[in-house]
């Protein structure tokens, strides 16, 4: 099987970009990644665009000013896992020998979208049922949080500590939307969204940004240590049953098992993680689903300090979705960008203490579609 390398990465700052168009954001990331790879656009044989709300043929529209006539552009929508799914599909083409070098980018401009960022489809039975009861994503995750606290005998302060950790990391990240530290008291004292989740325990939903990767089958000869993708899995969920455990992130656990098998490693060999912490409770659930700790021990892992920047297994060193922001289509690509920077020790003030060799990025999408999740991806990167 051919090795797939990430030869270049780049991203824009995540946040509100009043003076920039989605085209500006995408081109900044794409050109930055190509320059980081010491490549030229002439050597890029295809582009993969991950996006949720941009509309049809978005990639072609965003790249038209770059004079890329005749180069194939693929547009991928898979909810919050759109960018990660684009990476997965690009890898298939590279391994099949269709291309040698491609660019994958994710982009979103939610601050100019209007009408809310998570529309509910009333024509779908399960989603319509959620909508009638006001069951948007914060309410779904609040139920998970309430159940987790009850099942494992922990307090809401533990959830708040996830936000404290990730906002500290984000304060060190020049690309993050939120660059302000916070305290447990401030988190718990912020506006209640859906008990037990307060405002500072929910990722920002109005955010713009783009991220890009150059993928190639040619081993990079540049100034940075080559990073390979050694595991790439995208899974879709199964329909929920009435007796399903709301804390069972089965789709993510399944994707992780497949990715570990593909990479030939186990969870204990992972050195750094970027995960889908859209809400504080999600981080604890995904600790367990990814095998970073035993079931029910997510809170203990957090409180041990092992997931901090100086810990055994740093999680969300970028600040995660909670601080960096969550521009849906860009998120999965940005997670991998951060893992590359961490492995190559280019992460600046937020550089983790340990010298990492293996990193994992996990992203999910479509959490209100009547399945455990509509999509879940796990990518494993290695020096």
pLDDT per position as a tens digit, 157-201: 999 999 999 999 999 999 999 999 999 999 999 999 999 999 999
Report whether the peptide linkage leading into residue 196 is cis, meaning its omega lies within 30 degrees of zero: yes
Instruction: Name which of 296, 349, 293 is nearest 319 in CA terms.
Output: 349
Q: What is the pLDDT of residue 158?
A: 96
Cα–Cα distance, 260 to 254 (Å, whole number): 10
- Tens of pLDDT, residue by residue over 12-44, are 999 999 999 999 999 999 999 999 999 999 999
Q: What is the pLDDT of residue 115?
A: 47
Supply 173's token pair.
Answer: 């990240």
Q: What is the pLDDT of residue 329?
A: 95
pTM over 0.75: yes
| Whether residue 105 is found in the same domain as residue 162 | no
Q: What is the pLDDT of residue 14?
A: 98
Instruction: Name which of 116, 177, 159, 106 is nearest 322 in CA terms.
Output: 177
Lowest mean pLDDT among 58-67, 90-99, 122-131, 176-185: 122-131
Final residue in a domain of this structure, among 176, 194, 216: 216
| Whether residue 243 is found in the same domain as residue 270 | yes
* pLDDT for residue 282 is more than 60: yes
Instruction: Name which of 214, 187, 342 is nearest 274 in CA terms.
Output: 342
| Whether residue 33 is found in the same domain as residue 137 | no
What are the residues whose beta carbons fall under 8 Å from the beta carbon of 309, sequence distance 6 or more? 169, 317, 350, 351, 352, 353
Q: What is the pLDDT of residue 369?
A: 47
Give residue 116's pLDDT band: very low, low, confident or very high (50, 70, 90): very low
Q: Are 333 and 343 in contact (CB under 8 A)?
A: no
- Tens of pLDDT, residue by residue over 290-319, are 999 999 999 999 999 999 999 999 999 999
* pLDDT for residue 123 is more than 80: no
Phi, psi for residue 234 in degrees, rounded to 5: -125, 130
- Tens of pLDDT, residue by residue over 221-266, are 888 999 999 999 999 877 655 556 667 788 899 999 999 999 999 9
Sort 383 into a burial class: Cβ within 10 Å, 0-12 / 13-18 / 19+: middle
**Domain count along the chain:** 2
Reported as type and span, the H/E element at residue 208 is: strand 208-216
Reported as type and span, the H/E element at residue 11 is: strand 5-11
Q: Are 75 and 56 in contact (CB under 8 A)?
A: yes
Give residue 380's pLDDT band: very low, low, confident or very high (50, 70, 90): very high
Residue 49 lies in a domain: yes
| Rg, Å, the chain Cα set | 19
Final residue in a domain of this structure, among 216, 238, 261: 216
Q: What is the mean pLDDT of residues 278-294?
A: 96
Q: Are 81 and 363 in contact (CB under 8 A)?
A: yes
Cα–Cα distance, 342 to 62 (Å, whole number): 29
Supply 175's token pair.
Answer: 């690309």
Q: What angle (nearest 5°) sits at the alpha carbon of residue 308, between those of residues 304 and 312?
A: 70
Provide the residue range defining the domain that includes 42: 5-116+211-216
| Whether residue 91 is found in the same domain as residue 130 | no
Q: Are 108 and 114 in contact (CB under 8 A)?
A: no
Cα–Cα distance, 345 to 317 (Å, whole number): 12
* pLDDT for residue 365 is more than 90: no
Cα–Cα distance, 343 to 158 (Å, whole number): 29
- Tens of pLDDT, residue by residue over 125-152, are 445 555 555 557 787 888 888 889 898 9
Marked catalytic residue, from 49, 80, 202, 203: 80
| Whether residue 149 is found in the same domain as residue 278 | yes
Cα–Cα distance, 168 to 326 (Å, whole number): 17
Instruction: Name which of 101, 8, 85 is nearest 47 in CA terms.
Output: 101
| Whether residue 338 is found in the same domain as residue 254 | yes
Highest average pLDDT, of 62-66, 173-177, 242-246, 367-371, comes from 173-177
Q: What is the DSSP letter of 79?
A: T
Q: How many angstroms from the chain centroid is the CA of residue 228?
A: 18
Reported as type and span, the H/E element at residue 139 is: helix 137-152
| Whether residue 189 is found in the same domain as residue 335 | yes
Q: What is the pLDDT of residue 374?
A: 81
Give residue 117's pLDDT band: very low, low, confident or very high (50, 70, 90): very low
For the chain, the average pLDDT equals 91
Q: What is the pLDDT of residue 96?
A: 96
Percentage of the chain lying above the pLDDT 90 cut? 77
Q: What is the mean pLDDT of residues 365-377?
A: 71
Q: What is the pLDDT of residue 239?
A: 62
More confidently predicted of 46 and 369: 46
| Whether residue 176 is found in the same domain as residue 325 | yes
Residue 221 lies in a domain: no
> Is 80 a residue of the active site?
yes
| Whether residue 244 is found in the same domain as residue 326 | yes
Q: What is the pLDDT of residue 253?
A: 93
What's 12's domain CATH number?
3.40.47.10
Cα–Cα distance, 290 to 186 (Å, whole number): 29
The neighbour count for residue 238, using CB atoms within 10 Å, is 13
Instruction: Name which of 331, 216, 223, 204 is nearest 276 in CA terms.
Output: 331
Supply 132's token pair.
Answer: 């009638």
Supply 337's token pair.
Answer: 């960008």
| Whether residue 79 is found in the same domain as residue 160 | no
Residue 71 lies in a domain: yes
Q: What is the pLDDT of residue 121?
A: 47
């Amino acid at each position: 099987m051919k090795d797939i390398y990430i030869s270049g990465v780049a991203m824009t700052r995540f946040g509100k970009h009043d003076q920039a168009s989605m085209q500006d954001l995408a081109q900044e990331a794409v050109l930055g990644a190509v320059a980081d790879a010491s490549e030229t656009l002439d050597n890029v044989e295809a582009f993969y665009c991950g996006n949720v709300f941009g509309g049809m043929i978005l990639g072609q529209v965003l790249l038209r000013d770059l004079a890329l006539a005749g180069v194939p552009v693929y547009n991928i929508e898979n909810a919050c896992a759109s960018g990660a799914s684009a990476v997965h599909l690009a890898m298939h083409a590279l391994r099949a020998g269709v291309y040698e070098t491609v660019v994958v980018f994710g982009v979103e401009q939610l601050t100019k979208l209007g009408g809310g960022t998570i529309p509910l489809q009333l024509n779908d039975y399960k989603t319509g049922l959620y909508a009638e009861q006001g069951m948007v994503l914060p309410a779904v995750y609040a139920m998970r949080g309430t159940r987790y606290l009850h099942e494992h005998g922990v307090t809401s302060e533990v959830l708040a500590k996830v936000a404290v950790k990730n906002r500290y990391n984000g304060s060190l990240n020049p690309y993050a939307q939120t660059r302000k530290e916070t305290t447990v008291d401030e988190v718990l004292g912020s506006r209640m969204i859906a008990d037990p989740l307060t405002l500072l325990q929910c990722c920002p939903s109005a955010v713009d940004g783009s991220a890009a990767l150059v993928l190639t089958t040619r081993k990079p000869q540049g100034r940075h240590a080559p990073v390979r993708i050694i595991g790439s899995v995208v899974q879709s969920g199964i329909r929920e049953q009435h007796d399903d455990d709301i804390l069972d992130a089965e789709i993510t656990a399944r994707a992780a098992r497949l990715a570990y098998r593909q990479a030939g490693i186990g969870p204990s060999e992972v050195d750094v993680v970027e995960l889908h912490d859209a809400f504080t409770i999600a981080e604890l659930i995904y600790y367990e689903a990814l095998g970073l700790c035993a079931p029910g021990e997510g809170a203990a892992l957090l409180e041990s300090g092992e997931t901090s920047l100086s810990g055994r297994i740093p999680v969300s060193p970028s600040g995660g979705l909670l601080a960096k922001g969550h521009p849906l289509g860009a998120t999965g690509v940005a997670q991998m960008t951060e893992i590359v920077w961490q492995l190559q020790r280019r992460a600046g003030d937020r550089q983790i203490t340990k010298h990492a060799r293996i990193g994992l990025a996990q992203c999910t999408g479509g959490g209100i579609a009547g399945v455990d999740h509509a999509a879940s991806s796990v990518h494993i990167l290695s020096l």
